[in-house]
A = this chain, B = another copy of it.
Amino acid sequence: MGTAGEHEPLQRAALTEALASGSDEALERLLSGAHPADLAEALDHLDDPGARLRLFTMLDATVASRVLRDASESARTFLLGALPDARLTAVLELLDTDDAADLVGGLSEERRGRLLQRTDAETRREVAELLTYAADTAGGIMKAEVPAVPLRTTARDVVEYLRRNAEKLHDVWDVFVVDGSHRVVGRVPLRRLVLAEDDQRVEEVMDPDVVAVRTDTDQEEVAHLFEKYDLATAPVTDSDGRLVGCITVDDVVDVIEEEATEDMLALAGVSGPAGETDGALRGVWSRLPWLALNLLTAAASAATVMLFEGTIQVVAIAAALMTIVASQGGNAGVQTMTLVVRGLALGELEPGQLWRVVRRELTIAAANGFVLGLICALVVFAWRHDAKLSGVIAAALLANYLVAALLGSLVPIALKLLRVDPAVSSSVFVTAGTDVAGFFIFLGLLTWVL
Q: Which residues of A contact B (CB under 8 A)?
A: 1-7, 33, 35, 37, 41, 70, 72, 159, 162-163, 166, 169-173, 183-185, 190-191, 193-195, 209-214, 225-232, 237, 241, 249-250, 252-254, 256-257, 260-261, 263-265, 267-270, 274-277, 280, 283-284, 287-288, 290-292, 294-295, 298-299, 301-303, 305-306, 309-310, 312-313, 316-324, 326-328, 331-332, 334-335, 337-340, 342-343, 346, 348-349, 357, 360-361, 363-364, 367-368, 371-372, 375-376, 379, 431, 435, 439
A37 to B211, alpha carbons, bound, how many Å? Answer: 12
Are the C-beta atoms of B376 and A295 separated by less than 8 Å?
Answer: yes
| 9 A-B pairs (CB sep. < 8 Å) | A3-B241, A37-B228, A170-B191, A249-B253, A276-B340, A277-B348, A283-B364, A287-B368, A309-B317
A213 to B371, alpha carbons, bound, how many Å? Answer: 46
A312 to B360, alpha carbons, bound, how many Å? Answer: 40
Are the C-beta atoms of B295 and A323 separated by less than 8 Å?
Answer: no
Which residue of chain B is the closest to A238 with respect to CB atoms?
A: B3
16 new A-B pairs (CB below 8 Å) besides A6-B209, A294-B327? A2-B211, A2-B213, A3-B212, A6-B184, A256-B256, A268-B338, A270-B335, A276-B340, A276-B343, A276-B348, A283-B363, A284-B367, A291-B368, A298-B324, A298-B327, A302-B324
A431 to B227, alpha carbons, bound, how many Å? Answer: 35
Are the C-beta atoms of B226 and A269 separated by less than 8 Å?
Answer: no
Are the C-beta atoms of A7 and B256 separated by less than 8 Å?
Answer: no
> What are the residues of chain B within 8 A of A37 when measuring CB–CB?
228-230
Are the C-beta atoms of B324 and A299 separated by less than 8 Å?
Answer: yes
> What are the residues of chain B within 8 A of A171 when measuring CB–CB?
191
> What are the residues of chain B within 8 A of A229 when measuring CB–CB?
7, 35, 37
A348 to B276, alpha carbons, bound, how many Å? Answer: 8
> What are the residues of chain B within 8 A of A162 when measuring CB–CB?
191, 194-195
Are the C-beta atoms of A372 and B291 separated by less than 8 Å?
Answer: yes
Are the C-beta atoms of B264 and A263 separated by less than 8 Å?
Answer: yes
> What are the residues of chain B within 8 A of A33 when measuring CB–CB?
209
> What are the residues of chain B within 8 A of A226 when measuring CB–CB?
253
Are the C-beta atoms of B35 and A209 separated by less than 8 Å?
Answer: yes
Are the C-beta atoms of B342 and A264 separated by less than 8 Å?
Answer: yes
A99 to B27, alpha carbons, bound, how many Å? Answer: 46
Are the C-beta atoms of B210 and A190 separated by less than 8 Å?
Answer: no
Are the C-beta atoms of B328 and A295 separated by less than 8 Å?
Answer: yes
Tell me which of B270, B299, B320, B431 contacts A302 (CB under 8 A). B320
A391 to B235, alpha carbons, bound, how many Å? Answer: 62
> What are the residues of chain B within 8 A of A292 when measuring CB–CB?
372, 375
> What are the residues of chain B within 8 A of A324 when measuring CB–CB?
295, 298-299, 301-302
Are the C-beta atoms of A211 and B6 separated by less than 8 Å?
Answer: yes
> What are the residues of chain B within 8 A of A268 when measuring CB–CB?
267, 334-335, 337-339
Are the C-beta atoms of B337 and A7 separated by less than 8 Å?
Answer: no
Minimal beta-carbon separation of A10 from chain B (angstroms) = 12
Indicate the member of A319, A331, A334 with the most B CB atoms within 10 Å. A319
A162 to B171, alpha carbons, bound, how many Å? Answer: 21
Given A227-B257, A229-B37, does the pair A335, B269 have CB atoms closer than 8 Å? yes
> What are the residues of chain B within 8 A of A295 when measuring CB–CB?
324, 328, 372, 375-376
Are the C-beta atoms of A342 and B298 separated by less than 8 Å?
Answer: no
Tell me which of B211, B232, B267, B284 contacts A368 (CB under 8 A). B284
